[in-house]
Each structure stands twice: as C-alpha cells, then as structure tokens.
Amino acid sequence: MNKDKFDYFIKGEKNKYEVIIGLEVHAQVSSNSKLFSGSATKFGAEPNSQVSLIDSAFPGMLPVINKECINQAIRTGLGLNAKINNNSVFDRKNYFYADLPQGYQISQYKNPIVGEGKVLLDMPYGSKEIGIERLHLEQDAGKSIHDMDPSSTYVDLNRSGIALMEIVSKPDLRSPEEVNAYIKKLRTIMRYLGTCDGNMQEGSLRADVNVSVRRVGDKNFGTRCEIKNVNSIKFMQMAIEYEANRQVELLDEGKKIEQETRLFDTKKNETRSMRSKEDAHDYRYFPDPDLLPLKIEQKLIDDLKKTLPELPDNKKERFMSDYGLNSYEANVLVSEKEISNYYEEVAKLSDKKLAATWMMGDLFAMLNDKGLNISKSPISPKNFAELIQSINSGEISGRIAKEVFELMVESGDNPKKIIESKGMKQQSDPKELEKIINEILTKNKDKVDQYKSGKEKLFGFFVGQVMKQSGGKANPQITNDILKKLLKG
C-alpha cells in the first residue's frame, strides 16, 4: 500500500474534486480535578458521584480555575509548536440543555490560551505540515441518557465541568488518510506530554469534522459542512468519505451545498442534516464576569518548556541518527512513549538495528496477539536485549531464537538461562562442524558425485543433513562455508 504520490481525489460525473478537511478535536485534559471545581474526573464512576455544587450550578456557586489544567494546555500548546498567549479570556457560551447545568458552557472565544501552531505528518508521499489555528480550554457538558426509561431522560453530571482542550486545525487536511495520521500524531504528542490519555473509547478524544470539496485547480474553498462529535478515527474516515461524495454528487448535478451541521449515523454509514445555518444557535458569547482574564507569566511558560519531555519528531530524528534506523522504523518506534522507552533500553544493550527489526516483528506480533500494551510485555527490555545479543554474537541462530522467544514469553525467563538449560547454543566451532560434515559427505558419496557433476541443487540437502545431525544448532553461515570448501575439493 506504499503510495508515493498523493492521489485522494473524488471523480464525479463531470469533474474531479479535491477534499478539504479541518478538524476541531476535543481532548480531555489529564488532571485529577475538573476545570473549575475540585470534583474528581475518573472515568466510569457511579453516575453523579463526581459532582460538586459548582458542577451542578447551585445558586451562588462560582468557578475557580484549576491551575493544573492551565499548565496542561500550555504544555500541549508547546508540544504543537504554538504561541502561548500571555492574556486570554474565558467566555460564556449560552444555551439551554438538560445536561448543561449552568445554562452556559465556560469556554474561550475570541482570546484562546494557545494561538497558531503546527503538526508534522509523515505520509508515504513525504512529510506534510498541518497548521493549528488555536487551542482553547472549555468545560465538558454532562451526559443525557435517553434509553433508561421510556418517558424520562436521566442526566449524569460526572462529566460536567471536566476540562477539554479544543484543538482547531487549519483546513489543511486532504484525505481520510491524512486525518488518520493527524489524529494519531496529536494523540502521540499529547500522550508524550501526559496532557491527554487519548482514549477514544472513553471519549477522551472526539472531533467535529469540517468537510468541503472543490474542483481540482480551484483556489477558493467550497461551502463546508460540519459533522459533529465523531468519536473514532474509523468513523471520521467513513464520515468524510460519505460526506465528500455527497457534496460531489450535488455539485455535479449543478446544486449548491448548504452550510449546515450534520451528524454521522454509524449504523447506516451516512451523514444527515442536524441543523442549517439559519437554525444555528446564537450562543451570545461574552466574557465570564466570574473569572478574571487569564494572565500567564512568561516565566511559567519558560519553566514548563524546560520540563517538557523529548517529543516524537525530535526523538524520531535522534533514533535515525543515533541508531541508524530508517524513517519508517523510527516512526513506528516513537509512536508511543512506552515503545520508544522500551526500544531505547534494548538498543543500549544490544544491536540497534537488529533490536528494531525484532521488536517490530516478533515482539509486536506477540503483544498484538495477546492484546497487551508494551508496558505489560512478558519479556523485559533487559531479557529482550540479551536475546538480541545472543543472535548477534552467533550464539544462537535466528531459527532457534524464535524458539527461545516463545519460551521467554511463556516463562518470562532470561534467554541465557533458557539457551543453557535447553542446550540450544549454536554450534560455531569450525572443527566440530567439519567433523560432522565430513561424516555426512562420506555417507552420501553418490550425492556428492551428482553435485560435482552439476546438480548444485543438492547443496540444500547437505545443509539439511547438517542441521538434522546438529539438532538445528549448526551455525548456518559457517556450515555453508565449510560445505562449499569441502565439496569443491
């Protein structure tokens, strides 16, 4: 599937179209308490068990900013190479809904905490920069539960007031693939920073997707539709695919696109209209008078900058230059902080390149098979490094190594111990091997003659015999060398 040229266009009846996509990603801030109250934020708690008087908007309750959420937003902004605004403002976004206790959401409208930034994507056709328009902080709403009772709606306010970062991209994305890469990259960056766990199943990461199309070559953007609240990358991609095709069909029929908000129906795999531009809410934004403008001292930004971990882009470059990995390998190994940490531990103690190959091959396959996170790997980095070393030094063959690997998974044991106790060491002593080979050649004189008269395919037969004789432990390279030498003579 390695395409080295971008080719996501939609062919209509008449024209060929390019798809323009912008994302508003809502990322839940990792913090112990909510944006403006001391309530806990644990996922999956008993309904309404993490709700304070502030979250439920009792009379006279006032919001007080949680400084850790501010720090997390700054860290994220720095991770997105963005400008941190020393002055920003919290506004009220006014609308009525049963799971919005205040009757307004505290958000940031004209003056967000983080300004323009950028994210780098590695696409098969090269690297691509996606612009970030802004990042702002806002409160999450509660949850309305409509299916618990035929006539009533239940409301769970556990989520009410939890801090979200809304990360708005520029309309720089051009395909579902790029959306996939973009979301994954954002997620990786935030997980490196520890500012969002990126758990899409728990709703920690959701997005509103803006889609428009234009004829290839056109300079102006088409009218966009916003698909609200899509909570998986797969659904985002499906929704974009559907929506772009819908728009292309309309345009080719000579019809106009109405600017509107749409919903993605995951069962029918289609988007449908939720409200038109005319019905759009008037949110009556205004600065929240309960909160003073947010002033961030440059010193705080500088201090946070100093404590940032190495981010994936830098780490990738370092992996390539320090460990001699290629771009693809480096990408995979920096995709999760835990993976990169594991790799670095292994690489420090063994052959860097071989370690990468084995990690991305057998180790990942095993983890995937078992549904395990690398932090739960039955093989410790140290043991894994020893295994790589054993292969690299020729102590065991690649084939034997696979057996050792299996035993390590089962027992969690040190590979040296396994090799020792099972006698799996590779036979690399040329004298020993020569002895075995001579025996085999003597036994199979007829075949030696055939070989010499031109039937060179028989070489494999001799190797197989050596392996059989040695219980698979003969060093293949040395075996080959000796065989060649003796068969010539």
Binding site for other proteins (CB under 8 A): 53, 56-65, 92, 94, 96-98, 101-104, 153, 155, 282, 284-286, 289-292
- Nearer of residues 24 and 55 to other proteins, judged by Cβ: 55
Query: Smallest gap, in angstroms, from Cβ of residue 137 to other proteins?
Result: 15
Cα of first residue to Cα of last residue in the chain, in angstroms, is 49
Between 58 and 328, CB nearer to other proteins: 58
Closest approach of other proteins to the CB of residue 148, in Å: 16
Closest CA to 167 of 27, 34, 318: 27
Q: Minimum distance from CB of 56 to other proteins (Å)?
A: 6
Q: HSE on the CB side for 61, CA within 13 Å?
A: 15
Q: CB-wise, 99 or 403, nearer to other proteins?
A: 99
What is the separation of C-alpha 145 from the centre of its chain, rounded to a whole number of angstroms?
Answer: 30
Q: How far is the CB of 100 from other proteins (least distance, A)?
A: 9
Question: Smallest distance, Å, CB 105 to other proteins?
Answer: 11
DSSP state of 290: T
356 SS3 class: helix
What's the closest the beta carbon of residue 8 comes to other proteins, in angstroms?
36
CB-nearer residue toward other proteins: 106 or 251: 106
- Which of residues 28 and 56 has its CB atom nearest to other proteins in the complex? 56
Q: How far is the CB of 291 from other proteins (least distance, A)?
A: 5
Complex with other proteins: residue 289 or 423, whichever CB lies closer: 289
Burial class (CB within 10 angstroms; exposed 0-12, middle 13-18, buried 19+) of 116: middle
- DSSP codes, 94-151: E---TT-TTSEEEE--SS-SB--EEEEEEETTEEEEEEEEEEEEEE---EEE-SSSSS
C-alpha angle 114-119-124 in degrees, rounded to nearest 5: 165
Contact 346, 388 (CB under 8 A): yes
Query: What's the half-sphere exposure (Cβ side, CA atoms, 13 Å) at 380?
Result: 9
Question: Which lies closer to other proteins via its Cβ, residue 289 or residue 460?
Answer: 289
Report yes or no: 195 and 76 within 8 Å, Cβ to Cβ: yes
Total Cβ atoms within 10 A of residue 53:
12
Q: How far apart are CA 122 and CA 29, in angstroms?
A: 26
| Cβ distance to other proteins smaller for residue 277 or 455 | 277
How far apart are alpha carbons 446 and 482 in whole angstroms?
19
Query: At its nearest, how many Å lie between other proteins and the CB of residue 154?
Result: 11
